[in-house]
């Protein structure tokens, strides 16, 4: 459920016409609905009400500080994967005691930053990282709370590029080595193993893979008690799938129903690192039609947003629903490719898609663009990154200005020697 709705053929975001916002800020731009975001957060949080839990919003899904602040106001923590994301989460006012830090390539300075800020825990991805955290924490005279990211060797039945819990994946430590790793950790003075972490993939549509992997994780937690390691947190990762086009999305209740009985068996706090399910449907990308063209039987709608603005279709072959912002009556549907202006043939927003015939200047809405949308945007082809707008009821706020040409060259410098010739 979301608050992007058509009234008499005109698309609204909450109480405001999307077309009116487009006239003000220009295109392309991302548009977020505050009430949709809040609703998704709350429904997820309530689904796990029965057990002690903490929702750590996965910052890589949408890292705008306004979005993070809106979620902090709902009580959310954060799951960060870099020093930059930690900076954003803190800047947005997220309580450090609700922040977890994952990622397999943390640098020494990122680890020190996390230790200085006293975050809830660091998710460790390798033996060498564990040693480095121990060394840095000891030097700073602190004890680092940690979880070890375990690879449960589970097929999450999702796109291979977003599956992260298979044996051959680069993430985590194989389950078979986990006991030994925790035993090492329990003897290091600079770390305190308090959690187990897993993240098996993204856009997972069925709870089965979670049940299967969490059974293994709960067994591990219980075996660790025997070793004297007191596991207080099980971080089940993220990955709850959502509806983009035709797929059936179950909603958080059904995931909770399957997960709660499994994790209840150990008296732990459950951490949920959810990104997509919280913010995916809370955002759309609004773009304008530049041209219609055809090549043989193939018809193209050229729009002013490209793979540099929304990478998912090009990167994963992801499908996003696309509709006109203002529906024209009585126009035929055509099968088209919706393509961007980038000089790459892989630059498209949709392929072989039925769309009502559009004309130059029409606005299109690309739905479910609130997660992994702006955060994956780039300046490729020297295109300024788009604006971001946040709507709450009948108010709209610019939460990120469109970049300018000056922004594109900020930080660049021509060597003196080149200037003098
Ligand atoms: C990306 C990621 C998440 C969030 O995944 P979603 O599919 O957006 O819920 C959670 N945890 C880790 C470690 C991640 O890398």
Tens-place pLDDT, residues 345-378: 999 999 999 999 999 999 999 999 999 999 999 9
Atom of ligand 1 nearest to the CA of 197: 13
Per-residue confidence (pLDDT) for residue 331, from 0 to 100:
96
**Rounded to whole angstroms, what are the CA distances from 355 to 4, 42, 301, 334?**
19, 34, 10, 5
The CATH fold assigned to 4-31+281-409 is Lyase, Ornithine Decarboxylase; Chain A, domain 1 (2.40.37)
Active site residues: 343
Per-residue confidence (pLDDT) for residue 169, from 0 to 100:
79
Per-residue confidence (pLDDT) for residue 188, from 0 to 100:
98
Beta carbon of 103 within 6 Å of any ligand 1 atom: no
Considering the chain, tell me which residue range(s) the CATH 3.20.20.10 domain(s) occupy: 34-278
pTM summary value: 0.96
Per-residue confidence (pLDDT) for residue 167, from 0 to 100:
72
Q: 16-68 pLDDT, tens per residue?
A: 999 999 999 999 999 999 999 999 999 999 999 999 999 999 999 999 999 99
Beta carbon of 241 within 6 Å of any ligand 1 atom: no
Beta carbon of 79 within 6 Å of any ligand 1 atom: yes
Class of the domain covering 34-278: alpha beta
The stretches in the chain having pLDDT less than 70 are 165, 421
* Cα 56 to averaged position of ligand 1 atoms, centre (Å): 10
Nearest alpha carbon to residue 366 among 334, 335, 399, 340: 340
Considering the chain, tell me which residue range(s) the CATH 2.40.37.10 domain(s) occupy: 4-31+281-409
Per-residue confidence (pLDDT) for residue 421, from 0 to 100:
66
């Amino acid at each position: 459920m979301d608050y992007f709705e058509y009234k008499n053929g005109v698309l609204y975001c909450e109480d405001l016409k999307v077309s009116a916002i487009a006239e003000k800020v220009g295109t392309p731009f991302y548009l977020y609905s505050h009430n949709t975001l809040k609703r998704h957060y709350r429904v997820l949080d309530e689904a796990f009400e029965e057990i002690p839990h903490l929702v750590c919003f996965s910052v890589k899904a949408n890292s705008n500080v306004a979005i993070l602040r809106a979620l902090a106001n709902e009580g959310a923590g954060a799951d960060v994967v870099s020093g930059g994301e930690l900076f954003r989460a803190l800047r947005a006012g997220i309580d450090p005691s609700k922040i977890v830090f994952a990622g397999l390539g943390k640098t020494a300075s990122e680890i020190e930053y996390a230790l200085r800020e006293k975050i809830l825990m660091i998710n460790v991805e390798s033996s060498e990282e564990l040693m480095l955290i121990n060394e840095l924490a000891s030097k700073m005279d602190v004890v680092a709370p940690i979880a070890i990211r375990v690879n449960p060797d589970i097929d999450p039945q999702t796109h291979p590029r977003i599956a992260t819990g298979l044996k051959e994946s680069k993430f985590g430590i194989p389950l078979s080595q986990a006991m030994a790793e925790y035993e090492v950790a329990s003897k290091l003075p600079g770390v305190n193993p308090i959690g187990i972490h897993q993240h098996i993939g993204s856009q997972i549509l069925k709870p089965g893979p979670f049940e299967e992997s969490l059974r293994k994780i709960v067994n591990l937690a219980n075996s660790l008690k025997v070793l004297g390691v007191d596991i207080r947190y099980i971080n089940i990762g993220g990955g709850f799938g959502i509806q983009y086009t035709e797929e059936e999305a179950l909603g958080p209740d059904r995931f909770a129903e399957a997960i709660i009985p499994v994790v209840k068996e150990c008296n732990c706090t459950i951490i949920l690192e959810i990104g997509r399910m919280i913010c995916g449907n809370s955002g759309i990308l609004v773009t304008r039609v530049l041209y219609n063209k055809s090549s043989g039987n193939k018809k193209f709608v050229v729009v002013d947003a490209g793979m540099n603005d929304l990478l998912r279709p090009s990167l994963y072959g992801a499908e996003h629903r696309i509709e006109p912002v203002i529906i024209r009556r009585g126009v035929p549907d055509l099968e088209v490719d919706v393509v961007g202006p980038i000089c790459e043939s892989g630059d498209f927003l949709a392929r072989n898609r039925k769309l009502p015939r559009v004309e130059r200047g029409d606005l299109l809405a690309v739905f479910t663009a609130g997660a992994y949308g702006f955060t994956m945007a780039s300046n490729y082809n020297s295109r300024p990154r788009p604006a971001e707008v946040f709507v709450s009821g009948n108010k709209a706020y610019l939460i990120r200005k469109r970049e300018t040409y000056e922004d594109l060259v900020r930080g660049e410098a021509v060597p003196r020697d080149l200037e003098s010739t």
